[in-house]
Amino acid sequence: MAPGLAALALAGCSPAGEDAAFPSRAIEIVSWATPGGPTDLLSRALAEAAPPHFDGRRVTVMTRQGGAGAAGMQYLQGREGDPHVLGVFTASGTVNMATGRIPFSPGDFTPILRIQIDPFLVAVRDDSPFHTLGDLFEAAHARPGEVSVSGFGAASAHFLGFARLRAAADDPDVRWIAYEGSADAVVAALGGHTDAAHTNYNIVREHLRAGTMRVLGVALPVEALPETPSYAEQGYDLTPVHWRGVVGPPGLDPALRADLRARLTAAIEDPGFREYMEQAALEYATMADADAFGVWMAEEVATSRDMLRRLGILDE
Amino acid sequence: MSSASAGGTTRLGLLAEAGLLAVVAAGVLLDSRSYPGSLAEGAPGPAFFPRLLAVLLMACAAWLAIRAARQPPESDPGRSRGNVAPGAGAGRGARLALGAAWIAVFLLAWPRLGTVLSVPLLVAGLMWLTGERSRLALIAVPLGFAAFIYLVFMVVLGVPLPSGF
Amino acid sequence: MSAFLDGLLTALQPGNLAALLAGSLLGVFAGAMPGLSSTVGLALVLPVTFALDPTPALLMMVSIYMAAEYGGSITAIAIGVPGSSPALATTFDGYAMTRRGEAGRALGISLFSSMSGGLLGTILLVVALGPLSRAAIAFGPAEYFGLGVFGLSIVANLVGKDPFKGIVSALLGLLFFIVGLDVLTGAPRLTFGTNALMDGLGLVPMLIGFFAIAEALAAVTGRRRSTPPGGGIAGALPKARELFGLWRTILRGSAIGGLIGAIPGAGATIASIVAWNEERRVSKTPERFGTGLPAGIAAPEAANNSCVGAAMIPLLALGIPGSASAAVLLGGLTVQGVAPGPLLMTERSELVYALYAGFVVAVLLMLAVGRLGIPLWTRVVRLRPSILMPLVVAISLVGTFSLRGNAADAWAALFFGLVGFAMLRGGYPLAPAVLGLILGPMIETNYRRALSLSSGSHSVFLESPISLVLLLLAAVSFAAPAVRSRLISGRGRAPEPDTHEPRREEHE
């Protein structure tokens, strides 16, 4: 069904005060991420690329930070059925759902379009004795508690990404040193304070190009790192990634949801948006349909919860 | 607020401060019971620092109590009662409560009424409470200020302030 | 040098100059409005920069960053409310000077020191990019812990009449920092099951509460706050001779700002307080600090502007944002396809030199914009309290909300307003609590991090020379006031600075 027709068909059941056609006013993208950070940038790049695909309506980013994202999510959740309010959801969001830090579940939002993935990797300073993930984990098996890896947050998406890798290597006692941000964690490894950093490609890209850091392994093959073996190639059969995608408020009509997905899919094909993806070194990873994205989100929560229970961080 | 207005100098004031610090410290100790242990062997966990602070605050509270005990009850240094009209303390307390309550009412109304309607009410109310009685000022200042906030914050800078309704 | 001249020519092209000027105006405004800061100013223009070319976009952003550091001192001096947190130390002497009726002089000193600090920070950035970026990554958990403890030792100089109450205030500040999710385990602490407290109690709500709302509540309860004397002197600018006489102070302040600013995560607020304290330490009349000394304004203002250039060092050389504002700048760079890191200088040198030159032009524009604003601000000072205080409260609450779009922050500001009011009434100075909130994370998190890495051995703090020196400095700094007062006790107690309770003398 063409977007216009979909909207027409919905004329009777749109939220109170809405006009028949969607979009009937400016689109808001609620951002609960740190200003200037990767998730905030995605919101802004989207706001920049979207207007032509939303009948020329204005698209604004509305900052609502606080409560580990809950403030913004609450705002989004409160706009039930309103297709004019969107939010960018990430792996951090599903992990926070798993830990119970935020009082939401995937069902509180309408998944629309996963946009990008950002594979995790393990990087070391150029003079590190480690050359493969195996080196790192062997050292940890030999000297428990003496090998350290820095990364963003505790019981965070980054932490769980590494915990899954560590579990696949028979749980050596590698010490996770949590930092306030991914960049801080990379500085710690760069300064020799920790043995390695668990982070994403775009954070260390320039240090890799300059040769000041090396990658031991990457969760998924990255185009820019053809030489670097993936986790799977080194015998760890898992692909933990950071991901970001657009969700809407709960109770979005299926036709409107399909309409939004079609418009957003067009928007992220915009040359300006493509340029942003390239410059931020991110990969497109839209899924077959919106339902698949919803299943993905639910699975992420479940996997995270299992891992947290296994680590004894979450009881029940 | 009579105890606070006497704070720091009278015996009662010192005791009140000591009690308050002790309650805060006890609350922290109570809350810290639910914190998990350290993730790394040998390193202090999340409860270490709050408990350390609570113990130090307890010690401070004890010291304040000792100070209070040492102070003869009738002496009231640095403050001559004659200067303060009877009931002035209670009046101040009521005004403080009104001022804080007015700000709280504004914070509650802000998301619903929107910035342009609620901000002038906040300003006008606080002006009145601070003793402004010029009618012209009570009307012109809040309205002018609301126009400033609307134009500069919302229109020019595009800060997403609550628009209400 | 020719590369720098090319950069200068680029920065002076009409479009780029316009971007720099717009940045200066917005920066001074965002800095001066309590609640707004350079970070908010930068975040607001981030969408605008999408539409611009890389050079004007970056010039506009650095111009905002630079001008906001001066802007913060305007409100600090004029009304005693730090317009942004790096101006906290400026309230000590700046507002005292305004109360004497010398607002124009104080603002002039601040502007001149900000300009000098900005230029010196830029020079530092140009000549010491490589070495300082290597020094910055030498800061690990043990070193940050040392720096945090050293910073906290400054409390000894901020305690006011009753040292005991100053210590209680600092402990309360450290306790306020505990609220929120623990960085190392993710466990919620003192959140009482509410989601709103998970991100902790912010510095901005605390500053707004302590310095704006507590003061307004005091005004409501009938505490009169006299309007500073006006007339000719209120708007009078400092003499050139006075400004140039401050050169030693400005050099010291800029050096401190430059060194601390280059360390990721330390920031301009800590640098400016350390600079103020250092100036007090070397002064022949330390007891007069906080009563309106020119050096008490010049040191922190030189330091916080020098931090701007210095904060670019880890950003440009390593791609590491050292502050919240630098993080937004990094976002802007990313959008423009500029990837800072070890190769930036070789691959994009023309842009880097334009950036350097842009800093210089931004500083000069800040001087012009700031100078034009002084007559306006000296008039704001003269508003009667029953008009001024309500406006300060309203703009502070709007600013606090704008920071993160979070109503909980405005409520936190009201909470801190009541706490601050009660503390002032009980004779507890406020500045130590602010210092506690700022330094708590640096001290606790890095203490635990260092011990996680050493499996519990405390020797790490003594093995690192940087940490050892900082801890020794802390011990000296903490003991100094006590020793000094012992030495001069024969002449009676030194008059205490009234920095921390600047408005108490008009009591009742």
- Chain C residues touching A210 at Cβ < 8 A: 341-343
Q: For residue B73, what pLDDT is reported?
A: 63
* 3-state SS string for B83-138: HCCCCHHHHHHHHHHHHHHHHHHHHHHHHHHCHHHHHHHHHHHHHHHCCCCCHHHH
Q: For residue C488, what pLDDT is reported?
A: 61
Q: For residue C337, what pLDDT is reported?
A: 85
pLDDT for B75 beyond 70: no
Q: What is the mean pLDDT of residues C339-368?
A: 92
Nearest CA in chain B to C457: B42
B129 inside 8 A of chain C by CB: yes
A→B contacts (Cβ < 8 Å), by residue, are 60, 62-63, 145, 154, 175-176, 313
- Residues paired with C360 in a beta bridge: none
- Going by pLDDT thresholds of 50, 70 and 90, the confidence category of residue C493 is very low
- Chain B residues touching C389 at Cβ < 8 A: 126, 130
Measure the CA–CA gap between C170 and C163, rounded to whole angstroms. 11
Residue A33 is which amino acid? A
Coil vs helix vs strand at A177: strand
Q: For residue B89, what pLDDT is reported?
A: 66
Check: complex ipTM more than 0.90: no
CA distance C55 to chain A (A): 17
Tell me the pLDDT tens digit for each residue of C54-67: 899 999 999 999 99
Given B39, B41, B160, which is nearest A62 (Cβ)?
A: B160
Overall CATH class of domain A119-234: alpha beta
How, if at all, do strands A59-63 and A27-31 pair? parallel
- Chain A residues touching C184 at Cβ < 8 A: 154, 178
Vertex A149: Cα angle to A144 and A151 (nearest 5): 145
Given C42, C195, C328, which is nearest A70 (Cβ)?
A: C195
Task: Give CA torsion, residues C335, A35, C57, C302, to 10 deg.
Answer: -140
CA distance B98 to chain A (A): 29
Q: DSSP string of C147-190?
A: HHHHHHHGGGGT-TT-HHHHHHHHHHHHHHHHSEE-TTT--EES
**Cα separation values, A85 from A25, A243, A252, B145, C321, Å:** 10, 20, 11, 30, 31
pLDDT for C38 beyond 50: yes
Q: DSSP string of C299-310?
A: HHHHHHHHHHHH
- Going by pLDDT thresholds of 50, 70 and 90, the confidence category of residue B5 is very low
- Chain C residues touching A179 at Cβ < 8 A: 183
Q: For residue C229, what pLDDT is reported?
A: 61
The Cβ of residue C185 has, within 10 Å, a number of other Cβ atoms equal to 22
**Cα separation values, B130 from B58, B93, C215, C390, C421, Å:** 37, 14, 11, 8, 16
User: What CATH number does the domain located at A3-117+241-310 have?
Assistant: 3.40.190.150
Element (H, E) at A193: none
Residue B117 is which amino acid? L
pLDDT of chain A along its 316 residues, tens only?
Answer: 344 444 444 433 444 444 458 899 999 999 999 888 899 999 999 999 999 999 999 999 988 998 889 999 999 999 999 999 999 999 999 999 999 889 999 999 999 999 999 999 999 999 999 999 999 999 999 999 899 999 999 989 999 999 999 999 999 999 999 999 898 999 999 999 999 999 999 899 999 999 999 999 999 988 888 889 999 999 999 999 999 999 999 999 999 999 999 999 999 999 999 999 988 889 899 998 999 999 999 999 999 999 999 988 887 6
Domains A3-117+241-310 and A119-234 equal at CATH topology level: yes
Given C414, C426, C451, which is nearest B100 (Cβ)?
A: C414
Tell me the pLDDT tens digit for each residue of C200-216: 898 999 999 999 999 99
Residues C166, C158: contact at Cβ < 8 Å?
A: yes
pLDDT for C501 beyond 60: no
Element (H, E) at B39: none
- Chain A residues touching B41 at Cβ < 8 A: 145
Coil vs helix vs strand at C476: helix
Tell me the pLDDT tens digit for each residue of B28-58: 999 999 998 887 778 899 999 999 999 999 9
- Chain A residues touching C46 at Cβ < 8 A: 35-36, 44
**Cβ contact (<8 Å) for C199 and A68?**
yes
Interface test with A, best of C183, C318, C455 (most A CBs within 10 A): C318
Q: What is the mean pLDDT of residues C75-82?
A: 92
Residue A240 is which amino acid? P
Q: For residue C230, what pLDDT is reported?
A: 56
Closest CA to C253 of C134, C119, C147, C381: C119
Closest CA to C341 of A126, A280, A205, A122: A205
CA distance B36 to chain A (A): 8
* Predicted structure pTM score: 0.89
**Cβ contact (<8 Å) for A66 and C404?**
yes
Residues B107, C414: contact at Cβ < 8 Å?
A: yes
Q: For residue A3, what pLDDT is reported?
A: 43
pLDDT for B78 beyond 60: no
Beta strands (DSSP E) in C63-136 are none
pLDDT for B83 beyond 70: no
Q: Please, which residues 34-73 of chain B have a Cβ atom closer than 8 Å to chain C?
A: 35-36, 38-46, 48-50, 53, 56-57, 60, 63
Residues C311, C261: contact at Cβ < 8 Å?
A: yes
**Cα separation values, A43 from A27, A62, A118, C54, C274, Å:** 12, 9, 16, 20, 38
Interface test with B, best of A146, A175, A308 (most B CBs within 10 A): A175
Q: For residue A16, what pLDDT is reported?
A: 42
H helices then E strands: how many in chain C?
Answer: 23, 2
B39 inside 8 A of chain A by CB: yes
Tell me the pLDDT tens digit for each residue of C355-390: 999 999 999 999 999 999 998 888 888 888 899 999
Closest CA to A203 of A181, A183, A227: A183
Given B43, B46, B161, which is nearest C452 (Cβ)?
A: B43
Q: DSSP string of C29-61?
A: HHHHSTT--HHHHHHHHHHHHHTS-HHHHHHHH
- Residues paired with C353 in a beta bridge: none
Residue C199 is which amino acid? D
- Going by pLDDT thresholds of 50, 70 and 90, the confidence category of residue B87 is low
- Chain A residues touching B36 at Cβ < 8 A: 313
Residue C287 is which amino acid? E
Task: Give CA torsion, residues B130, C104, C84, C340, to 10 deg.
Answer: 160
Closest CA to C314 of C366, C356, C259, C355: C259
Measure the CA–CA gap between A205 and B98, rounded to whole angstroms. 57
Tell me the pLDDT tens digit for each residue of C85-111: 999 999 999 999 998 889 999 999 999
pLDDT for B74 beyond 90: no
pLDDT for C496 beyond 80: no
Report the Cα B103 to chain-centroid distance in Å.
Answer: 11
Residues C337, C344: contact at Cβ < 8 Å?
A: no
Task: Tell me: cis bond preceding C441? Omega within 30 of 0 counts.
Answer: no
Q: DSSP string of A62-97?
A: EE---GGGHHHHHHHHTSTT-TTEEEEEEHHHHHHH
Residues C15, C56: contact at Cβ < 8 Å?
A: yes
Listed range (A34-38, C245-249, C480-484) with the worst mean pLDDT: C480-484
- Residues paired with C375 in a beta bridge: none
Please indicate whether residue C491 or residue C341 has the higher confidence score (pLDDT): C341
Tell me the pLDDT tens digit for each residue of C261-270: 999 888 899 9
Coil vs helix vs strand at A29: strand
Q: Residue-wise over A41-65: b if at least 16 C-beta within 10 A, else e?
A: bbbbbbbbbbbebbeebebebbbbb
A-C C-beta contacts closer than 8 Å:
169
**Cα separation values, C247 from B51, C25, C251, C299, C473, Å:** 46, 27, 6, 10, 25
pLDDT for C195 beyond 90: no
Residues B154, B115: contact at Cβ < 8 Å?
A: yes
Closest CA to A71 of A97, A98, A103, A38: A103
Please indicate whether residue C447 or residue B68 has the higher confidence score (pLDDT): C447
Domain-wise residue ranges, chain A: 3-117+241-310, 119-234
